[in-house]
C-alpha cells in the first residue's frame, strides 16, 4: 500500500462496514482477532488502520516500536488459532503520511468459499461464533445476531461455491417441470 492508497482509504476519517480505526498500540491477537474475523465475513473484506484517536479519529500515528510489533508471520500464526478456515490478510506497517506520522494498516480479505467461524475462546471471541461488521447502529464487529446479516453471509458463500463448481465443470441440468408431470400422468 502506498501513501496515495492510504490517503484515499482514510479520507473523511469515518468508520464503516469495511473500515475500522484503532488508537496507537502494539500487536495483540486478543485485541484484533474479533475485527479480523468480522472483516473476513464482510463483502470485499476490510481494513483496520492503527494510529487514529479513538473518539475523534484525529491522526496521531504509532511509534516505530508499535509499528514493528505488527509482524505478518507472527500475526498469521496467532490469528490461525482462532479462525476456521484460515483468514488471509496483509500488514502494511511502514506507512508515513505527509506530516511524518507512521501508521499500520491491516487489509483483511473476504472468505474465499465458506464463512469464517471462530474456533477458540479468548479475549472478545467465543468458540463457534460467526463474527460480522454490523450495520445496525454504528459499525462494529460483533457475533451475527440477526437473519439479515446471516443471509448476506450465506448468500455470498452459496454464490462462491456455485461459481467454483461451475469452474470445475459441474452444471445443473435444466428440466421443464411440466413435461415431467405430463409424462407421469400418461396423457390423462
CATH for the 3-170 domain, from 3.30.950, 3.30.70, 3.30.1490, 3.40.50: 3.30.950
DSSP-assigned letter for residue 170: -
**What is the pLDDT averaged over residues 125-131?**
96
Question: In the chain, where are the structural domains located?
Answer: 3-170
Q: How many CA atoms lie within 13 A of 145 on its CB side?
A: 9
Query: Quick check: 68 pLDDT over 70?
Result: yes
Tell me what pLDDT residue 125 has: 96
Type and span of the H or E element at 34: helix 29-40
Contact present, 145 and 133 (Cβ < 8 Å): no
pTM, rounded to two decimals: 0.86
Among 23-27, 29-33, 131-135, which stretch is predicted with the lowest mean pLDDT? 131-135
Query: Quick check: 179 pLDDT over 70?
Result: no
Contacts of 101 (CB under 8 A, 6+ apart): 51, 59, 60, 61
Amino acid at each position: 500500500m502506498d501513501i496515495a492508497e492510504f490517503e484515499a482509504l482514510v479520507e473523511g476519517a469515518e468508520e464503516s462496514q469495511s473500515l475500522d480505526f484503532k488508537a496507537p498500540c502494539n500487536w495483540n491477537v486478543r485485541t484484533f482477532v474479533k475485527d479480523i474475523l468480522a472483516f473476513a465475513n464482510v463483502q470485499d473484506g476490510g481494513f483496520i488502520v492503527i494510529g487514529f484517536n479513538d473518539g475523534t479519529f484525529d491522526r496521531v500515528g504509532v511509534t516505530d516500536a508499535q509499528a514493528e510489533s505488527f509482524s505478518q508471520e507472527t500475526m498469521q500464526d496467532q490469528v490461525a488459532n482462532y479462525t476456521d478456515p484460515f483468514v488471509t490478510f496483509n500488514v502494511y506497517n511502514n506507512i508515513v503520511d505527509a506530516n511524518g506520522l507512521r501508521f499500520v494498516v491491516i487489509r483483511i480479505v473476504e472468505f474465499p468459499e465458506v464463512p469464517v467461524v471462530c474456533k477458540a475462546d479468548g479475549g472478545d471471541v467465543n468458540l463457534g461464533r460467526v463474527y460480522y461488521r454490523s450495520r445496525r447502529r454504528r459499525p462494529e464487529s460483533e457475533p451475527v445476531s440477526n437473519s439479515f446479516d446471516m443471509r448476506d453471509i450465506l448468500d455470498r458463500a452459496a454464490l462462491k461455491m456455485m461459481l467454483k463448481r461451475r469452474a470445475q465443470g459441474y452444471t445443473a441440468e435444466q428440466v421443464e417441470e411440466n413435461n415431467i408431470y405430463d409424462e407421469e400422468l400418461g396423457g390423462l
